């Protein structure tokens, strides 16, 4: 038991350390600017060892994206399921999104780039992630519609607006020094969009 598990743990550990080093560098410098040797160095291992775990640089890149987006989707789904009303659930879900955007240890920024030219399959994976994320937000909005609180509009546009608008938390340069607070930005975004599609108290 002991030894074999140790071996497996060791491998898992190495695997993750490479994924993390690679994610860190890919995030900071992009695919082409990041050299395999740098990744190895940051992971504290030899150049050749990276190839024991990943067949090629492209595959490593793909796996980094998969690893991070899978983690994200798990967290996002959980958050979107917790909470009483649709408003609270929306709030929870977008909090996860914002956190992933901001945490430097997460490599989430990679997602917002267009990697179609690197690999078509990677592109499709990312479109899928986006679709899944959007669907979750749409479902939450439809809940609010059923509850009669939101206008019964097609939810795809407000859902995507919410997701896109969360990018704002990455634009600290564009905010006045004292106006930048990611959490309140998120709240304002939600307020505006929900308000924009709220059922107006019956015009008479």
Partner DNA sequence: GATGAATGAGGTTTCATTCAT
Partner DNA sequence: CATGAATGAAACCTCATTCAT
Return residues touching its own copies (CB under 8 A): 28-33, 109, 112-114, 117-118, 127, 130-131, 134, 153-154, 156-158, 160-161, 164-165, 167-168, 171, 173-176, 179, 185, 188-189, 191-197, 200-201, 203-204
Kindly identify the residues of this chain, within the stretch 40-99, that bind DNA according to CB under 7 A.
40, 45-49, 51-53, 55-58
Q: Read off the DSSP letter of residue 151.
A: -
Q: How far apart are CA 16 and CA 23, in angstroms?
A: 10
Name the token pair of 81.
């399921």
117 binding DNA? (CB under 7 A): no
Stretch that binds DNA, among 30-38, 71-79, 97-105, 131-139 (CB under 7 A): 30-38
11 binds, among DNA, its own copies, none (CB under 5 to 8 A by kind): DNA
27 binding DNA? (CB under 7 A): no
Phi, psi angle pair for 151, to nearest 5°: -65, 140
Phi, psi angle pair for 150, to nearest 5°: -115, 150
Q: How far apart are CA 114 and CA 141, in angstroms?
A: 28
- Total length of the chain: 204
The minimum distance between CB 36 and DNA, in angstroms, equals 4
Q: Which is nearer to DNA, 4 or 204 (CB)?
A: 4
Count of residues that interact with DNA, criterion CB under 7 A = 23
Q: Which is nearer to DNA, 5 or 173 (CB)?
A: 5
Count of CA atoms in the C-beta half-sphere (13 A) of 45:
22
Q: How far apart are CA 129 and CA 151, in angstroms?
A: 27
Q: How far apart are CA 55 and CA 46, in angstroms?
A: 15
Count of CA atoms in the C-beta half-sphere (13 A) of 78:
7
The minimum distance between CB 126 and DNA, in angstroms, equals 21
Contact footprint for DNA (CB under 7 A): 3, 7, 10-11, 14, 32, 34-37, 40, 45-49, 51-53, 55-58
């Amino acid at each position: 038991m002991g030894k074999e598990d140790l071996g497996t743990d060791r491998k898992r550990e190495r695997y993750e350390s490479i994924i993390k080093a690679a994610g860190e560098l890919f995030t900071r410098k992009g695919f082409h600017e990041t050299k395999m040797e740098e990744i190895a160095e940051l992971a504290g291992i030899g150049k050749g060892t990276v190839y024991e775990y990943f067949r090629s640089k492209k595959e490593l890149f793909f796996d980094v994206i998969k690893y991070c987006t899978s983690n994200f989707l798990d967290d996002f789904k959980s958050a979107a399921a917790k909470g009483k009303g649709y408003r609270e659930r929306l709030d929870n879900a977008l909090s996860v999104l914002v956190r992933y955007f901001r945490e430097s240890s997460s490599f989430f920024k990679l997602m917002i780039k267009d990697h179609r030219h690197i690999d078509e399959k990677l592109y499709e994976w990312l479109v899928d992630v986006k679709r899944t994320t959007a669907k979750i937000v749409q479902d939450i909005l439809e809940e609010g519609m059923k509850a009669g609180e939101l206008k019964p509009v097609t939810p795809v546009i407000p859902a995507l607006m919410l997701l896109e608008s969360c990018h704002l938390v990455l634009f600290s340069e564009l905010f006045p020094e004292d106006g930048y607070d990611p959490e309140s930005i998120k709240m304002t975004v939600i307020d505006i969009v929900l308000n924009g599609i709220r059922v107006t108290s019956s015009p008479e």
